[in-house]
Structure 1
Amino acid sequence: MKKKVMGTVYALLTVFILSACSTEDVMTNHSNPKVSVSTTVKPLTKKEFSEVETSELANPSKEDFRSVRMILTLRGTDSLSDIQVKLPHYREAFNNIKDDRQIRY
């Protein structure tokens, strides 16, 4: 009887020790980061259009321009260091109309 009780105690201790060495917490701490991007494109207000440099454009109008806002959200990056976000050069991204000889950005 004593051997059965001691065997049960050793088995329970082994289970507790092995559960303490679980890698579940380690995996959740180093989970993949979540990235979300929200982009809104709106027409310019009169004030915003007055701040746009239009001297090099032929017949510029407020309808030729848009306000672009991008919100980048990173979550789950606590375990990461030296995070870098690379965006395309804005002149190349916004001047992609092949037939248009004017520079717009």
Structure 2
Amino acid sequence: MFEPELLTRVAVAAHLSVRSLREAFRRHLDATPTGYPSRVRPARAHADLLAASPGRGRVAAVAARWGFVQPGRFAAAYRAAYGCLPHETLREDRG
């Protein structure tokens, strides 16, 4: 998700070198700058699906909100993280 020039811009904005930024990510988030969004986006989508009322939320809208433009890739990432498909989480009776 972070392209090299974006990583450089983030480092400059944080008054760090790119290497220091990478080390800070590893130390504080146990991830790299490029790996962190891959871990966080499915987690945020999962929280949105859990918060949605069954039958009222739309998986595609949640996926788009978290930057997944291809539904199949979202479903695969979600299944890898949570062991089920996004629409199954949305459908669950949590009441």
TM-score, length-normalised on structure 1? 0.21
Structure with more of its chain in strand, by fraction:
1
Structure with more of its chain in helix, by fraction:
2
User: Considering only CA atoms, is the larger Rg found in Structure 1 or Structure 2?
Assistant: 1
TM-score, length-normalised on structure 2? 0.23
Q: Which has the higher contact order (CA 8 A, sep 6+)?
A: 1
